[in-house]
Chain A
Amino acid sequence: MSVSGPPKSVKVDVVVQDYMDSLLADLFPEIQDEAEVLAVTTVPEVTTQTVVKEKEEATSSAVAMTQPLSPPPDAPQPLKQPQNTIELASTPVEEVIAQVAEVASPIKLSIEAPEVVSPKIIAPEIVAATELIEERAYPSAPVWAQQAFDVLLFDVCGLKLAVCMESLGRIIKIEQELNQLIGRPAWFMGAYSENEQSLYVVDTAKFIMPEKGYDLAEQGFEFIIQLQRSNWSLACKEVYSTVRLLPDQVKWRSSEGKRPWLAGTVIEHMCALIHVDSLVDLLKSENA
């Protein structure tokens, strides 16, 4: 594993800077003037509070609904009471029918009861969801990034990328050629066989910045990084060290943009942080 940085040239710096700028623009499309920023940032807070308030109201109403129902004042008496027992031997038929009809009503009431009780199950979920929203200190950050987390830095055609260590499978140094599978898109480099398993290799440069015209197959790559425990892996030229990041070191993406694989950018390291789960989902959806 190499620990040296990539050779810097003016051209690469300019291209990478442009790309980082475009990533930031994608992350924060709303940064155009301060008035717009204020408008955009205040609306979600109001919405969140409104949602929480609505959920609290829903919770209280749901809890209220779980209170035991008191029978209406004009409701018939329960079956167990002695005066409702039927004395068949000495009672005329008309009276027996009247008594049976009278007795049937309380039974009907007891059947309807479970429907009223059902909101008991829903109520804890609403409370839990409300607590989850309140607990997340960095709402834009994924769950795994709410506290300090380790990332691996690697280089793709001069662009530094980072992936969360928890989302990685293996880092494999390429020792044999890839198998070519016909009819695949340009970013699909082929299959790498490792321990009787096929890892499908993505040309990271072509996939995440196709507009730049880079080609890892031509420029060479030495490592592939397995994403989670999936069959997908990213090709890269160099792998750097791991660094520990705090959530507030990352400019988290604020909205769904055209790059779902992008979790955010780390200005301190001038790198883009990859959202591995979204990237794998994206590759799988291309697969569908």
Chain B
Amino acid sequence: MSTYEAKGVADDPVLQWVTFRLDNESYGINVMQVQEVLRYSEIAPVPGAPTYVLGIINLRGNVVTVIDTRLRFGLSQTETSDQTRIVIIETENQVVGILVDSVAEVVYLRQSEIETTPNVGNDETAKFIQGVCHKNDELLILVDLEKMMSDEEWAELNDF
């Protein structure tokens, strides 16, 4: 590899993203934040929990809180299906699950391929989007998981 190519790779790193679908849109999350993907299993509701918390699951003896991603993203509710998955993620030093319609694949993206999106409006959910990218003739919306919840909300999840 030439010096110029090596410099180019360093300036423009390739990142891997796990893609999932929600309400007919494709989203991506950084693969480094994904621990595993589970089939949908019964989620035990927690009395008094915030509305965006669906409940908890038992993951090999550990309690994991599952977040209602549709509700968090301001999308309409839907029934679960065979494709429904719980993606176990680790962020803000916490392990949580996010419920998604389906999980598709892992894609490789160069940093330079990611476009920023217009930051219009005052809705907090707009901050969840880190950028967008065109992959396989469709638009992939990249999610910044750490901004999915405020510091207070992450702390609140710790109490479960």
Verify if B103 is at the interface (C-beta below 8 Å from A). no
> Does the CB pair A200–B128 fall under 8 Å?
no
Bound CA span A19–B124, Å: 33
The 8 Å CB contact of A287, one of B118, B125, B139, is B118
Tell me whether A181 and B129 are in contact (CB under 8 A): yes
Q: Most chain-B Cβ atoms within 10 A of its Cβ — which of A179, A231, A232?
A: A179
Interface residue? A44 (CB, 8 A)? no
Count how many chain B residues have C-beta atoms less than 8 Å from C-beta atoms of the other chain.
24
A181, A185, A286: the one within 8 Å of B141 (CB)? A181
Q: Could you give, for residues 16-60 of chain A, a 1 whenever the CB lies within 8 Å of some chain B CB and a 0 otherwise?
A: 000000000000000000000000000000000000000000000
* A196/B134 contact (C-beta < 8 A), A179-B25, A183-B123, A283-B118 known: yes
Q: Which residues of A contact B138 (CB under 8 A)?
A: 193
Interface string of B114-130 (1 = CB under 8 A from A): 01011111011111110
> When the two chains form the complex, which single residue of A179, A182, A196, A287 contacts B120, counting CB atoms closer than 8 Å?
A287
Do the beta carbons of A200 and B129 come within 8 Å of each other? no
A183 touches B128 (CB 8 A): yes
Are the C-beta atoms of B134 and A180 separated by less than 8 Å? no
Size range of the interface on A? 20 to 34
Give min CB distance, A273 to chain B, whole Å.
Answer: 24
Chain B positions within 8 Å of A184 at CB level? 118, 120-121, 123, 126
In the bound complex, do residue B128 and residue A193 qualify as a contact, i.e. CB atoms below 8 Å apart? no
Q: Is the CB of A181 within 8 A of B75?
A: no
How far is A286 from B126 in the complex, measured between Cα atoms in Å? 13
List 19 additional contacts besides A184-B123, A185-B120, A197-B134; criterion CB under 8 Å: A182-B74, A182-B75, A182-B123, A182-B126, A182-B128, A183-B73, A183-B129, A184-B118, A184-B126, A193-B134, A193-B138, A193-B139, A198-B134, A200-B117, A200-B118, A231-B118, A286-B121, A287-B118, A288-B119
Q: Map CB proximity to A onto B85-127 as digits: 1 under 8 Å, 0 otherwise.
A: 0000000000000000000000000000001011111011111
Show 26 residue pairs from A and B whose CB-CB distance is below 8 angstroms, ordered by the A residue.
A179-B25, A180-B23, A180-B25, A181-B117, A181-B126, A182-B74, A182-B125, A182-B126, A182-B129, A183-B121, A183-B123, A183-B127, A183-B129, A184-B123, A184-B126, A188-B120, A191-B117, A193-B134, A193-B138, A193-B139, A198-B132, A198-B139, A231-B118, A232-B118, A283-B118, A283-B120
Nearest chain B CB to A233 CB, angstrom units: 12
Q: Which residues of A contact B141 (CB under 8 A)?
A: 179, 181
Q: Are A183 and B74 in contact (CB under 8 A)?
A: yes
Determine the distance from Cα of A231 to Cα of B23 in the docked complex, in whole angstroms. Answer: 24
A179-B141, A198-B139 as given contacts; A287 in contact with B129, CB under 8 Å: no
CA distance A184 to B120 in the complex (A): 6
Cβ-neighbour of B139 out of A191, A283, A288 (below 8 A): A191
A162–B139 alpha-carbon span in the complex (Å): 31
- The residue on B at minimum CB distance from A286 is B120
Could you list which residues of chain B lie within 8 angstroms of chain A, going by C-beta atoms?
Answer: 23, 25, 73-75, 115, 117-121, 123-129, 132, 134, 137-139, 141
- Residues of B with C-beta under 8 A to A185: 120-121, 123
The contact of B121 among A180, A188, A232, by CB within 8 Å, is A188
Interface residues of A (CB under 8 A from B): 179-185, 188, 191, 193, 196-198, 200, 231-232, 283, 286-288
User: Which residues of B lie under 8 Å from residue A197 when comparing CB positions?
Assistant: 134
Q: Is the CB of B129 within 8 A of A198?
A: no
Minimum distance in angstroms from B38 CB to a CB of chain A: 24
User: How near does chain B come to A115, taking the closest CB pair, in angstroms?
Assistant: 46
Q: How far is the CA of A182 from the CA of B124 in the complex (A)?
A: 10
CA distance in complex: A183, B127 (Å)? 8
- Min Cβ gap A184→B in Å is 5
User: In the complex, what distance in Å separates the CA atom of A225 from the CA atom of B121?
Assistant: 22
User: Once the chains are docked, how many angstroms separate the CA of A198 from the CA of B125?
Assistant: 20
**Contact at B73–A182, with CB atoms within 8 Å?**
yes
* The 6 nearest A-B residue pairs measured at CB: A183-B125, A183-B126, A183-B123, A185-B121, A179-B139, A287-B118
